Structure 1
Amino acid sequence: MRVLVQRVTSASVTVDDAVVGEIRPAAQGLLALVGVTHDDDAAIATRMAEKLWGLRILDDQRSAADIGAPILVVSQFTLYANTVKGRRPSWNAAAPAPVAQPLVQAFAEALRALGAEVAEGVFGAHMQVASVNDGPVTLMLEL
């Protein structure tokens, strides 16, 4: 599992002209773009949620857990693109939807179980993701 996390002051996901998930303007929050590969499982999703929740990337070296920062979770299979050869990315390392969808959901649920306020995109939908990066701070999380 890979999570590209951005520190944001606001973020939203729109599908078919309707906002389906958002972090309203706040002091700080996190936008988590989540990619799943073939050998990921629920235990990895839980560990990644714990890592993100405790990651000290907010002001004054605080974590989302420290201040109750909201998190917007968006599925992002393209995090597993292979661009080594040619000009057309290969998606072979990305897990298929029947594997990935429950794990993205498990990641979001694990965050909620930790106490996070979580908004979500729509798995597999064509989404427009808008965000206001803060810093900017962008990190790739992997286990």
Structure 2
Amino acid sequence: MIAIIQRVSESAVRIDGELKGEIGLGLMVLLGIEEADDQEDIDWLSKKIVNLRIFGDENGVMNKSLKDIGGELLLISQFTLHASTKKGNRPSYIKAAKPDIAIPLYEGFIQTVEQELGQPIQTGEFGADMKVSLVNDGPVTISIDSKNKK
């Protein structure tokens, strides 16, 4: 699993012009799922995201996590994170999991991160054409690949 994590002051996702999810201070996470992902990836990545210390403390030092500040999380599925651009100019998405594998993993990730965070999260809709807006706070953007945890 690949996650692009952005610290935001606000973020929203719309589908067909309708608001699907919206948060204030917190994290907007783009999540890419590949065929080889499993529950171990879900557990490790959800714990890492919720406890990542990228929010300022009373001295302005990035020393607090999403959990520490009681922030919100907006999760968006994005298969294009697994794009391969080695050959030619048209990206290949061969590593991205097909929906029959990706949807259960995506839903499992939602449940696991909600348990880890201790509150519900906002989401987009798997496979939908979504319009995502955000105000990146900092800017702070971090990429994490669960296959590079060791």
Report TM bin, short chain: over 0.9
Unaligned runs of 5+ in 1: none
4+ runs deviating over 2 angstroms: none
Distance 1:85 1:21 in 2: 36
5 Å-filtered alignment, 1:1-143, equals 1-23=1-23, 25=24, 28-60=25-57, 61-114=63-116, 115-143=118-146
Aligned residue type for 1:52 = I
Distance 1:105 1:4 in 2: 18
Q: CA RMSD in A?
A: 1.0
Unaligned runs of 5+ in 2: 58-62
Distance 1:102 1:46 in 2: 14
Aligned length in residues: 140
Distance 1:135 1:44 in 2: 28
How far the C-alpha of 1:68 sits from its partner, in A, is: 1.3
Distance 1:100 1:68 in 2: 28
Aligned residue type for 2:87 = K
TM-score normalised by L of structure 1: 0.94
How far the C-alpha of 1:44 sits from its partner, in A, is: 1.2
Fraction of identical pairs, as percent: 41
TM-score normalised by L of structure 2: 0.90
How far the C-alpha of 1:100 sits from its partner, in A, is: 0.9
